[in-house]
Amino acid sequence: MSDAAFIQVRGVTHHYPRMHEPALDNVDLQIPQGCSFGLLGPNGAGKTTLLSLLTGLLSPQAGEITIAGYSLSDDPPAIKSLSALVPQDFAFYLKLTGHENLKFFAGIYDIDDSQWNERLEYCTQVCQLEGMLGRRVAEYSGGMKRRLNLAIGLLNQPKILYLDEPTVGIDALSRQVIVAAIQKLRTQGITVVYTSHYMEEIEAICDELAIINHGRVVARGRTADLRSQGSGRSLSLTFAAIPSDELMQALAAWQVQCVHQRKVDLTLQNVDDMTAVLDTCKQHRMTIEQLQFGISRLEQTYLSLLKENEAATGESAT
Amino acid sequence: MNALLACIRKELLLLSRDLHGLALLFIMPLTFILIMSLALQNQMAEHSGSRLNVLWLDADHSDASQNLLQTLNSGHAFNFAINASEMNANDVDRQLRHGDYAFAIRIDTGFSNNLLNAPDDGTHNDITLSIAPDTSKQIEAIMVSSLHAALGQERLRAMLNTFGAGLDNKAHKEFDVHYAYISKDQNIPSAVQQSVPAWLVFATFFVVVPLSNTLIHERQQGTLRRLRSTNLGTLRLLLGKLVPYFVINQLQVILMLLAGRYLVPILGGQALQLNGSWWLLATMAAALSIAALGIALLIAVSSATTEQATLLGGTGNIVLAAIGGIMIPKFVMPVAMQTVASWSPMSWGLEGFLDILLRNGTLRDIAPEATGLFVLGLTTLLLAWLIQSRRSE
C-alpha cells in the first residue's frame, strides 16, 4: 500500500434539488492506493452519494475530486476506465444467464475476444461461480446473485472497486465467499472502497475507514485505531436471562451504551466501578454468563461517535 | 462499437425471452388482421362479390313481375331467393328477423294489371317491401331507390305497350364506373387491403411496452447506474435500445404484409395486393418506426414505473388508434372527427401506407405523412435524450 493519496476528495459538497440539507457537506478524504477503505454511516448519511461522486455518476457542486492524478471534472472517461461500481442492487438482467450477463458487460467494457476467456475464468474463479453461469440468473439464490454482481465488477480489471453493501441480505456462507474474494483483491493491489452495515466485515476487510453522518465526515482513520478508541473502560455483560427493568435502572449510572436481549454494554469511569457493577448484579440476583472488559468492538466506537455527533448537531441547531 | 453491439444483442435476447412482449408485437396485430379482414369482407360487399340476400315472393307470376326481378337483378347488388310458395306476412317477418334476408319483396296478384293504375289514396299497393331489423338505413335507401327505378321502367314498358311500342330487356350501360384506387391485379380493394396497413401501424407503436419495461427495470434494479458508471454514455445507451426495436418494427411490417398476402387467403379472405415500390414501403416503414420509437422512448424515460409506462403507452396507443382511423375507418367519421384524426401519427402512417398500397402513390404523395412522422420521431427522441441526460445528472 502506497502512502500517497490515490483518491483525493477536497471540500466536496453535493446538494440534491428540493432537499433542505446537503447530502454531502464539505467532505475531505484521502485514500491511499491499494487501501481497503470503509465508509460507515447510518442510512441517508451520504455514503451512496459519495460513491456516486467518486464514480462520476454525480458532479460535485463544490470541491474537487482527483483519482490517480486525473481530475473527475476534467477527465471522467479516464477515471471511469480505472474503476468499477458494484451497486447495492442486483444490477444485471434476471432473464439472461450468468454467462450472457458477463458477456454483455464485457462488451460494455470493450473487452475483446482475445481477453474474454481469461477474464471470464478469473471472475468465475474469484467469485466461485463455476457451474452456474449457464443458468438464468432468475434461478440463482441471493448469494449467487451477489457473487455475480461482484464478478461483473471485476471484468474490466479495475484499479478501484467501489462496493456498495455487497453482502446485504445473504446467508453467512455466501457472505464468507464475498469477503474472501475482496480480501484476495486487496492482495492484488486493488483499491477497494466499501460500504456496509456489517461491522465485522468492515473490521475484516478495511485498513482504514471514515464514519459519515448528515453528509459530514465524523471520524476517519485506521480501523484498528478507531476500534480501540475508548476501549479501556468498556464492559460488556451477558446475563443468563433478560435483565429486569430494576437492574437496568440501577446500571444506568454507568452509561449504558447498548442493550440487546441478554447483553448490556457499559462505559465505566474507572476500574473500581467494575466491583460496584458486579455487586449491583448480585443484589438483583442476575447470573452473569460472560464478561468482557477493556475490549471494544468497532460497533461500540461507531455508535458512540454517532451519539456524540448527534448531540453536537442538536446543540448547534439550538 | 463493441459496446453498442453488446447492447443490441442484449435487447434482442431480453425480448426473445419476453413472451408477453412478443405476443403484443406479433400475435396481437396478426390476430387483428385476420379477424378484421375476414369480418369486413361482407361490409365491402361490392368488392368481395357477396351480395345482399332478398326474398322474392311473386304471387302475380306475370311478365311484368319477371321483368321487375330481372331489372333489380341486373344491378348485381342483390341476391334474390325466389319463393313461389304462399307465405303469410308473419312467416316473412320471421325469416327477416332470423337474419336470412335483408329484404323481402312481395308481389301481389294483379300487379301487372294495376301497373298503370296506381291507387291515388295510397291505401293499397301491389308491392310490399319488408325490411329486416338489422338492415342499415343506407342499404335501405339503396333498395328503395333501386325498386323505384325498376318500377318506373316497368310502368314505362307498360305505357309503351299500350301504344304498340316495346322496350327490350337488355341491360343498358348508361355510364362508366371508375374506382379511384389502382392495383396490379384488380382495380378494387378488399378488406385486407384496408386492415393490414391499419393494424400494422397499430402494432408498430406497441414497442413502447417492451422497450419501456426494459429501461425502467434497468433503472429500478440499479443496472442503469452501473452502466452510467462506465464509459458507455447516454447516446450509445439509447442507440442500443433504438436499433434493435427499429429492426423489430421492420420485421413487423414484413410479417404483417406477408400475412395479408399469404395467410388471409388460406382462411378464406382475399390476398393483399402489394402495390407500389418496395423502397417507398421501406421509407414509410422507417418513418413510422422512428415516430413510434421516439414516443416509446419518451414514455420510457418519463415514467417512474413499468405500470405507469404500460398504462400510458397502451392507453395512448388505443386512443391514437381510435381517433386515427385504425379501429374505425376515417371515411365513416364525421368531418369534425376526421379533422381530429389527422392529428394522430397513426393516421399519418395509415394514410402513407394506403397511398402506396391502394393509390399507387409516389414519393411526393407520401412525403407529407413520412415527413410528419420523421419530425415527430426526431423531436420526441431529442426530448427523451434530454430527459435521460438530465436524469443522469
Q: Which residues pair with A193 in a beta bridge?
A: A37, A162
SS (H, E, C) B261-292: HHHHHHCCCCCCCCCCCHHHHHHHHHHHHHHH
A148 pLDDT above the threshold of 80 = yes
Q: Is the pLDDT of residue A234 over 90?
A: no
| Whole-angstrom distance, CA of residue B68 vs CA of residue B156 | 12
- Residue B100 has a CB neighbour count (10 Å cut-off) of 13
Burial class (CB in 10 A: 0-12, 13-18, 19+), A114: exposed
Rg (CA), chain B: 29
Instruction: Mutate one of B15, B221, B231, B388 to test the A interface: name it (highest A CB count within 10 A).
Output: B231
| Chain A residues in contact with B231 (beta carbon < 8 A) | 77, 80-81
Residue B48's pLDDT is 45
Nearest to A91 among B5, B221, B232 (CB): B221
Give mean pLDDT, residues A2-23: 84
Using only C-alpha atoms, what is the Rg of chain A?
23
Q: Any idea which of A64-68, A177-181, B179-183, B355-359 has the lowest mean pLDDT?
A: B179-183
- How do residues A203-233 score in pLDDT, each as one tens digit? 888 999 998 888 999 888 888 787 766 555 6
Q: What is the mean pLDDT of residues A135-146?
A: 93
Q: Are strands A24-32 and A5-14 parallel, antiparallel or unpaired?
A: antiparallel
Which stretches within chain B are classed as H helix?
2-16, 19-22, 28-39, 45-48, 63-73, 89-98, 137-162, 191-204, 208-220, 223-228, 234-258, 264-266, 278-302, 306-323, 335-341, 345-357, 363-392
pLDDT band at A51 (very low <50, low <70, confident <90, very high): very high
Mean pLDDT to the nearest integer, A42-49: 88
Rounded Cα–Cα distance for residues A271 and A293 (Å): 9
Task: Dump pLDDT digits (tens) for A80-95.
Answer: 999 999 998 999 999 9
Give the minimum alpha-carbon distance from A84 to chain B in angstroms, rounded to a whole number: 7
Residues present in chain A in total = 318
Q: Are A79 and A70 in contact (CB under 8 A)?
A: yes
pLDDT at B187 over 80: no
Residue type for position A38: G
**pLDDT higher for B374 or A201?**
B374
Rounded to an integer, what distance in angstroms lies between the CA atom of residue B356 and that of residue B1? 36
Q: What is the mean pLDDT of residues A251-258?
A: 77
Inter-chain contact B225–A57, Cβ cutoff 8 Å? yes
Cα B103 from Cα A147, distance rounded (Å): 76
- What is the band of B185 on the pLDDT scale with cuts at 50, 70, 90? very low
- The shortest C-alpha distance from A223 to chain B (Å) reads 28
What is the percent of chain B where pLDDT is above 70? 88
What pLDDT score does A198 carry? Answer: 82
What does the block give as the cell for B151? Answer: 318500377
* Least confident interval from B28-32, B220-224, B354-358: B354-358
Residue of B nearest to A161 (CA): B229
pLDDT digits (tens, 9 = 90+) for B334-345: 788 888 888 899
Ranked by mean pLDDT, which of A13-17, B102-106, B299-303 comes out on top? Answer: B299-303
| B391/A contact by beta carbon, under 8 A | no
Q: Give the tens place of pLDDT for each residue, B196-246.
A: 999 999 999 999 999 999 999 999 999 999 999 999 988 899 999 999 999
CB contact, 8 Å: B362 with chain A?
Answer: no
Compute the average pLDDT of residues A39-56. Answer: 90
Between A83, A89, A109, which is nearest B221 by CB?
A89
Nearest CA to CA, how far is B46 from chain A (Å)? Answer: 51
Q: Please determine, for residue B182, whether its predicted confidence score (pLDDT) is greater than 80.
A: no
Residue A172 has pLDDT above 90, yes or no: no
Mean pLDDT of B120-135: 77
CA separation, residue A28 to residues A15, A65, A83, A215 (Å): 16, 9, 20, 11
Nearest CA in chain B to A55: B229
Largest interatomic CA distance in chain B:
101
A54: closest chain B residue by CA: B229
Which residues from chain A sit within 8 angstroms of residue B7, using beta carbons?
A: 104, 107-108
**CB burial readout B15-47, b (16+ within 10 A) else e:** beebeebeebbbeebbebbbebbbebbeebeeb
pLDDT at B84: 63
Q: Which residue of B has its CA nearest to A105?
A: B6
Task: Identify whether the C-beta of residue B368 lies closer than 8 Å to the C-beta of residue B287.
Answer: no
Q: What is the mean pLDDT of chain A?
A: 86
How far, in Å, are B45, B181, B188, B276 from residue B178 at the CA level? 17, 9, 10, 20
Q: Do A107 and B17 touch (CB under 8 A)?
A: no
Tell which residue, B166, B57, B72, B64, has the closest CA to residue B117.
B64
Q: Is the per-residue pLDDT at A162 higher than 80?
A: yes
User: What confidence tens digit (pLDDT) does each residue in B231-290 have?
Assistant: 998 889 999 999 999 999 999 999 999 999 999 989 888 888 888 889 999 999 999 999
Average pLDDT over residues A149-153: 95
- Cβ atoms of B249 and B171 within 8 Å: the answer is no
Nearest to A55 among B7, B10, B229 (CB): B229
Share of chain B above pLDDT 90, in %: 43
- The pTM of this model reads 0.73
Give the mean pLDDT of chain B: 85
Write down the pLDDT at residue B256: 94
Q: How far is A190 from chain B (nearest CA, A)?
A: 18
Q: Give CA–CA dist B343/A141, Å, rounded.
A: 51
Banded pLDDT at B47 (limits 50, 70, 90): very low
Q: Position A52: which residue type? A: S
Q: Which of A93, A113, A162 to mutate to test the interface with B (most CBs of B within 10 A)?
A: A93
d(CA B249, CA B205): 9
| Residues of A in Cβ contact (< 8 Å) with B10 | 93, 96, 100, 104
**What is the average pLDDT across A169-187?**
86
The answer to whether the Cβ–Cβ distance between A112 and B226 falls below 8 Å is no
Residue B81, SS3 per DSSP = strand
**Rounded Cα gap, residues B20 and A228, in angstroms:** 58
Best of B230, B234, B239 to mutate (most A CBs within 10 Å, chain A): B230
B227/A contact by beta carbon, under 8 A:
yes
A interface residues, B as partner, C-beta within 8 Å: 52, 55-59, 77, 80-81, 83-93, 95-96, 100, 103-112, 152, 156, 162
Q: Has residue A195 got a pLDDT over 60? A: yes
Flag if A85 and B229 touch (Cβ within 8 Å).
yes
Q: What is the pLDDT of residue B82?
A: 84
B44 pLDDT more than 60: no
> Is the Cβ pair A91, B222 closer than 8 Å?
yes
* pLDDT surpasses 70 at A316: no
The residue among B82, B78, B65, B57 whose CA lies nearest residue B153 is: B65
The ipTM assigned to this model is 0.79
- pLDDT given for residue B186 in this prediction: 45
* In the block, residue with C-alpha cell 460488556: A236
pLDDT score recorded for residue B157: 85
Nearest Cα to A23, choosing from A53, A44, A54, A4? A44
- Assigned C-alpha cell, B89: 306476412
Q: Inform me whether the C-beta atom of residue B223 falls under 8 Å from chain A C-beta atoms.
A: yes
Nearest Cα residue to B230 out of B99, B392, B20, B59: B392
